[in-house]
Amino acid sequence: MAIEVKEIYKCNVCGNVVEVLLAGGGALVCCGEEMKLLKENTVDAALEKHVPVIEAAEGGVWVKVGSVAHPMLPEHWISTIEVLTKNGQVLRQDLNPGDAPQAFFQVAIDEVELAREYCNLHGLWVKANA
């Protein structure tokens, strides 16, 4: 299976997470093992904590994690929120425990293709812009 730009991989040994910026040949390896391609989850079993919510706002969009705010604790938090635009841009906001599980991006709502976020415990979640 060929590696593609914007895919996200995780090391099952140490937990490193990487996003592909430029696809080359070969496999991604960390700690002596091939890294695992993360599946983009789209349906939250609880239907409230992980699926990104995209909201138009003055001057851009807000991406909030879950219709109910996701925990932001040292043991369970959202580390990254991204917006992927229709013209190929990737806009990213890194978060830390204690931050609000949301990010503002200066991009028009009609330019947003999708939003995705990474939870340190439950992986990668994505929502296409309707």
pLDDT of residue 25: 82
pTM of the model: 0.89
Same topology between domain 8-37 and domain 52-128: no
Tell me the per-residue pLDDT of 46-97, one tens digit each, with 9 for 90 and over. Answer: 557 899 999 999 999 999 998 888 999 999 999 999 999 999 999 999 999 9
C-alpha–C-alpha distance, residues 68 and 83, integer Å: 20
Q: Which two tokens stand for residue 107?
A: 């991009």
pLDDT of residue 44: 64
Collapsing DSSP to helix, strand or coil, 10 comes out as strand
Q: Which two tokens stand for residue 58?
A: 């003055």
C-alpha–C-alpha distance, residues 65 and 124, integer Å: 12
Tell me the per-residue pLDDT of 14-41, one tens digit each, with 9 for 90 and over. Answer: 999 999 999 988 899 999 999 999 999 8
CATH class of 8-37: mainly beta
Please answer whether residues 126 and 52 qualify as being in contact, where contact means their C-beta atoms are separated by less than 8 angstroms. yes
Length of the chain: 130
CATH code: domain 52-128 is: 2.60.40.730
Question: Domain coordinates of the chain in residue numbers?
Answer: 8-37, 52-128
